Chain A
């Protein structure tokens, strides 16, 4: 029997494009709110980028199969940064249950299986093999032309990842294969390898190549920052090549602006660069080269024809705090592209919206937002007067949304006793008198502490609560502070 192909072309209130974690999470959240929608994907199965990347098959975000909280609980989400979130126990922690525990971070396959389990256990239906080809704005929404026909919708959610290979405009880089084209590590046996880029993908390659390559040169203009995790350009998991570099081993992490890359007669590469942190000319030769220069959102005609606003050199759509295009109302982004809504970045700390751990929560808020746009009013939890402080204390202790999306998502309580998670930037500019929001934040020294925001008159009163050596924000000191605020 041919596989079911739901959602034929036609008119739907909401259209979701993509079947990676962002698309699956958004569709799940819309369904929970009873919002009719279609999901289309050019792929043939769920998983998105995790069907092929990371190249060297191991993620960088952790999942602890055993943790202080039960896997079926909401509090466990903080220990599992890769599974999608759900209300039903059988849909929770699906990546954790796939792990063989050889590492604290899942393999690519374990991640893919975990996402497929989420989709297949009845959570999400997708029309696979349906490719979005072009877009037509209309007065009341959008028409998406696809390989299967036209879809008309009032709101569209692009969950298409940040997956299109992007190279910096360096003369000669056209001859350098992109990260996405990297062959298995054994192909680099005994070679000197030049990696353009010193971010996660560059270090992922270096980490994978260390056992094979003779020497590795990582080159980019800006130095690697490692001081505080939330501010670093490279995750701790990839520090091994840096350790090698610091000892003067076979790996070099060079800060230099690349001027051009030439081919050598023997098929290798010669790099011409100018030092940044250490001035001077730099030339080096390598047998192989890889451009780990990043990716962009595959915006197709949205960028070139419809002029959608972008950030990061045109690579990411510019989004409002509720992940709507700043230039195209009714057009939303889910998944990795949610980093286009940067949030406040207090103390230079960015959001987790570029990873599953963060954007899974954003997707739930996005679904509510879209539901409101369509004229429904999703219910929020209501707290009795005596419930407010105990509830907020438990949220400060283990609320996974505010712990994962530090200084980006907030736990809000409104004067009528309703409570929900909101983007902090939105709360600050739109909350009503007497509203309270709580976040967990981090400073430049890596210290973690709660912050309360209270609307009083035209101003927001920002109050930092003290840190605590075990990060336990549920004690009497915090109770007293919250009682005074609430």
Chain B
């Protein structure tokens, strides 16, 4: 990535930000919110508090509980919202499976972020509803 324009373009492709105009995307696309991880590096650690909300820009990650893989995450996917919103410790590890770039919204700023962009909150809610539906379907 050479400059700020690319971060906006990356975000624009994601379902989560599909309702935002360019000025709003630019406001979100703060280069200081970008984090990078090497393949194999842990992004989130089970048992830890104080993490944030992350949107994958590039690369893949796995959600693991011990050695059990619970989920695989790809660009556009997000994670970290449950422990942030509930203000609880993380319940699983998230590990980069390849070199990764993510956009981070620090935990203490997530509420203000979601209230500033209600359409993002709605899309997040729809995703959470789908995840819940999948779990319920699996149990029934």
Q: Chain A: residues with CB nearer than 8 A to chain B?
A: 168-169, 221-222, 231, 255-257, 274-277, 279, 309-315, 318, 320, 326-327, 340, 342, 344-348, 428-429, 441, 443-444, 458-462, 464
Contacts and interface: CB of A to CB of B under 8 A. Distances in A.
14 contacts: A222-B27, A231-B108, A257-B26, A311-B31, A311-B35, A313-B31, A314-B3, A315-B31, A345-B106, A348-B108, A428-B42, A441-B50, A444-B108, A460-B47
A414 B4 CA distance: 43
B57 to A, nearest CB: 10
B37 to A, nearest CB: 7
A204 to B, nearest CB: 17
A462 B27 contact: no
B118 to A, nearest CB: 14
Contacts of B22: 257, 274
B62 interface: no
A374 B56 CA distance: 36
A460 B46 CA distance: 8
Nearest to A280: B23
B68 interface: no
B56 to A, nearest CB: 14
Given A257-B26, A313-B3, A346-B48, 9 more contacts: A221-B26, A311-B35, A312-B34, A340-B36, A342-B35, A346-B50, A429-B42, A460-B47, A462-B48
A326 B38 contact: yes
A274 B23 CA distance: 6
A168 B3 contact: yes
A301 to B, nearest CB: 15
A89 B111 CA distance: 49
Given A274-B23, A326-B99, A348-B107, A459 B32 contact: no
Interface size class of B (residues with CB under 8 A): 35 or more
B32 A347 contact: no
Contacts of A309: 36, 38, 99
Interface in B113-138: none
Contacts of B38: 309, 318, 320, 326-327
B139 to A, nearest CB: 27
Contacts of B108: 231, 347-348, 443-444
Nearest to B52: A348
B105 to A, nearest CB: 9
Contact of B27 (A221, A441, A461): A221
Given A169-B3, A313-B3, A458-B66, A326 B31 contact: no
Most buried by A among B41, B66, B108: B108
B104 to A, nearest CB: 7
Contacts of A443: 50, 108
Given A221-B27, A462-B89, A346 B32 contact: no
Contacts of A459: 46-47
Contacts of B41: 320, 326
B35 A444 contact: no
B63 interface: no
Q: Which of A345, A443, A460, A464 has the most chain B CB atoms inside 10 A of its CB? A: A345
Interface string B9-51: 0000000000000111011001110111110011001111111
B86 interface: no
Contacts of B7: 313
Given A231-B108, A347-B106, A443-B50, A326 B1 contact: no
Contacts of B48: 344, 346, 428, 460, 462
Contacts of B46: 459
